[in-house]
Structure 1
Amino acid sequence: MRTALFVTCLNDALHPQTGRATVSLLRRLGVSVDFPPRQSCCGQMHYNTGYRKETAKLARHFVDVFGAYDEIVVPSASCGGLPSEAYERAAQASGDAGLLRDVRAIAPRVHELTRYLTDVLGVEDVGAHFPHRVTYHPTCHSLRATGLGDRPYRLLRAVDGIDFVELPAEEECCGFGGTFSVKNGAVSGAMNGDKARHVWETGAHVLAAVDNSCLMNIGGRLTKDGHAVRTLHLVEILARTRADGPLADVPVARNGALR
Structure 2
Amino acid sequence: MKLISYKHNQQAHFGAVLGEHVVELTAQFRGIHDLATLLADEQLLDQARAHVASATPDYPLASVELEPVIPAPGKIICVGINYVAHAEEAGRKVGEHPVIFQRFAETLLAHGQPLLRPRVSEEFDFEAELAVVIGKGGAHIAPEDAMDHVAGYTCFNDASVRDWQFHTHQYGMGKTFRSTGALGPWLVTADEISDYRQLQVHGILNGEQMQEGSLAELAFDIPTLIAYVSKALTWNPGDVLATGTPSGIGFKRNPPIFLRPGDVFEVVISQIGTLSNPVADEA
Name the TM-score class by shorter chain: under 0.3
TM-score, normalised via structure 1 length: 0.26
TM-score, normalised via structure 2 length: 0.25
Structure number with greater CO (CA < 8 Å, separation at least 6) is 2
